[in-house]
Amino acid sequence: MSQHRLLTGKVVIATHNQGKLREMRELLAPYGIELVSAGDLGLPEPVEDGTMFSENAAIKAVAATQASGLPALSDDSGVCIDALDGAPGLFSANWAGPGKDFAPAIARVQIELAKRGALKPEQRRAHFVSALVIAWPDGHQELFEGRVFGTITEQARGASGFGYDPIFQPDGHDRTFGEMGSEEKHGSDWSHPAGAVSHRARAFQALAAACLRKPA
C-alpha cells in the first residue's frame, strides 16, 4: 500500500446489509463524512469470488467506486470456527441464504458443532475477521483488518447486532455480541487495541488513525 490518504466528503458504503450499514454509520459519525449506501444508489452486488476477506472487500469497494465515481468503503467479514475447520469463514453470509436470515445459519452452526462432538467451551473456539477496504476512483486503495477471538455459545443470547453476534462471546467478556450495545461493542477508549472490542471496530480503529480526521 502507498502513503495513506485522508477520506473526506461524500463516501459510498459498499454494502446492502442493513446491520453492517448501521454499524458503519455509527463508527463514521464523528468524522463529518457524508454517507450513501450502495443500496441507496441502486448499485448491484458484485460477485465475491476472492479467496480472502481482503479480496472480497476490495471487489465490493472497487465496484462501488467505479459505478459511483465516489470513494467507497467496504467491509468483508465472517466468523471462523476452529472445530469446523474455519467454516463458515468466507461463506458466513452464504449460510444465511439469499434472504440473509441468520437464524437458520446459527442453527446450522450448532448442528455442525454437535456432529463433531464440540460441546465444551474449549472445543468451540472461534474468531471474527473484518477486512475494510477504501477504494478511490483513481485506483488508490487502503486495507485495514481486525480480529477478535472468543467462543461459540450453546444458546443464542441477545437481540442486538446482527449475523452471528448472538452466539459469539468474545474473550474477556461474559456476554455475547448480541447482548452488547453499540457503545460497548465498538469500545470507546481507542488509545490501545483492547479499547475496540469487535473485529469491525478494531479494523476501523486502524482505518481512523490512518485516513480520518475529526472536524475542528
Catalytic residue positions? 76
The strand pairing partners of 152, in sequence order, are: 168
| Upstream peptide bond of 88 is cis (omega within 30 degrees of 0) | yes
Q: How many other C-beta atoms can be found within 10 angstroms of the C-beta atom of residue 98?
A: 7
Q: What span, in angstroms and rounded, lies between the C-alpha atoms of 187 and 181?
A: 10
Secondary structure string (H, E, C) spanning 20-37: HHHHHHHHHHHHCCEEEE
Q: How far is CA 47 from its chain centroid?
A: 18
| Whether the Cβ atoms of residue 133 and residue 58 lie closer than 8 Å to each other | yes
Q: Where are the beta strands (DSSP E) in 110-209?
A: 125-135, 141-152, 168-170
Assigned C-alpha cell, 121: 467451551
Closest CA to 164 of 98, 110, 121: 110
